[in-house]
Amino acid sequence: MTGDLAGPRTGGPLDLVRKLDVRVVVPVLFLVGIGLWSISAARPAFAAAQLRWCGVGFAATCAVLLIPYRRLLDLAWPAWIVSIGMLAAVLVFGESRNGAVRWLQFGPVGLQPSEFAKVAQVLVLARYIRFRRDHRTFKGLFVPFLITFVPMALVMMEPDLGTAAMFVPVLFAMLWAAGARTRHLLVVVAFGIAALPALYHSMPQGHYQRKRVDVFVASFLPKPDGRPSAPKIGDATPKDAPRKHDTFQRDEAVATVASGGLTGHSRAVDEPAQYERVPESWTDFVFVVHAEEWGLAGVLLLIGLWTALLGGFAMVASELKEPAGRLVCVGALVLLGTQAVVNMAMTMGSFPITGVPLPFVSYGGSSMLASWLLVAVVLHAKARQPVVFSVGDFD
């Protein structure tokens, strides 16, 4: 069924570089460029650090490319176990920022283990599923779900609901691509949806995550016609209605995106940019900087780059014959794609605010490194794809 899992022999690092898939690398480099530009506009002091992390990510990619294919998959389980350990360590030793414990401090460097846990999940799922058929039964879904829910539960305890939610589409997409039965997955999805209200009510009243959901839901509820009821100047808003400070970040982000107009917001030299009012405009909300500065033209360029990158992943995935490589590509596509879509959607007010960064663009070493690692494994699968003789998908 399968051939040499160690992969073909290569002619050395230069040969590997030549084999890098431009359909993946070029969009990534453009996205990184956009990210650097936006960060330097919002927080010039952070641009150098981002560039350093970008260099680290690229170096990590090159390092991954040097690892033989089989060895890389052999590293999947250890990587997953290390990531679980780091996630557990975060809960014990983690550093609290903005009310959540998500970072582990290694000297001057702070790492967010949840970002690496996502990469480890992709690798370990790909390794686990690649030659199996039992995931096509309901019972066989148990282990993949367990592999996913362990890190997910730890991330939720940080608490980081947004990042935890990223594990789910990756799991489903990889299982589905590997041939899991749709109806089985739909049953699980139905159970998941049914459990959402319980999850919502399990959040403490006034908790910021609950407020974010409230704000998002409130934005779809019918509003009064905007006219204040005259005799009630200054009347209290209902106690459970989202308050102004709850919607602040979303309101500012949406208005900042809108202010970009068609080709970007022109302003006087001394006039502060609107994005300066958006909290975290250099990290999770970096999209607003780009959208304000370049307008719809820039946004369409960014969306186009993401489409190109995801398309690149899909093309690589379709060209590969080796099952683990295929699944890694699908996992990378879904993970990065989901993060990008969720990030841009939340910035434009179409999704609850989550702590999900825009890969390659947002400031953040862990996110940058993890994203590069995902790209690295895809490029690795493409550059070092083993010869596979198969009669059908995942056979």
Which residues of the shown chain bind other proteins in the complex (CB under 8 A)?
Answer: 43-45, 173, 176-179, 225-228, 230-231, 233-237, 244-245, 247-248, 251-252, 254-255, 257-262, 271-272, 276-277, 291, 295-296, 299-300, 303, 306-307, 310-311, 313-314, 317-318, 326, 330, 333-334, 337-338, 340-341, 344-345, 348, 350, 393-394
C-alpha to C-alpha distance for 390 and 371, rounded to whole angstroms:
31
φ, ψ at 278 (rounded to 5°)? -85, 120
Choice between 360 and 394, CB closer to other proteins:
394
Element spanning 315, H or E: helix 286-319
C-alpha to C-alpha distance for 393 and 179, rounded to whole angstroms:
8
Count Cα neighbours of 23 within 13 Å in the Cβ-side half-sphere: 14
Smallest gap from residue 356 Cβ to other proteins (A): 14
Smallest gap from residue 12 Cβ to other proteins (A): 32
Choice between 88 and 181, CB closer to other proteins:
181
Smallest gap from residue 272 Cβ to other proteins (A): 5
Choice between 33 and 261, CB closer to other proteins:
261
Choice between 124 and 177, CB closer to other proteins:
177
CB 302 within 8 A of CB 348: no
Choice between 203 and 315, CB closer to other proteins:
315
For tokens 């049914």, the residue is 194
Smallest gap from residue 62 Cβ to other proteins (A): 27
CB 133 within 8 A of CB 106: no
Choice between 60 and 315, CB closer to other proteins:
315
C-alpha to C-alpha distance for 3 and 328, rounded to whole angstroms:
18
CB 225 within 8 A of CB 231: no
For tokens 């453009």, the residue is 30
CB 187 within 8 A of CB 145: no
Smallest gap from residue 46 Cβ to other proteins (A): 11
CA end-to-end distance (rounded Å), the chain: 7
Choice between 68 and 311, CB closer to other proteins:
311
Smallest gap from residue 350 Cβ to other proteins (A): 6
Smallest gap from residue 361 Cβ to other proteins (A): 14
C-alpha to C-alpha distance for 160 and 354, rounded to whole angstroms:
8
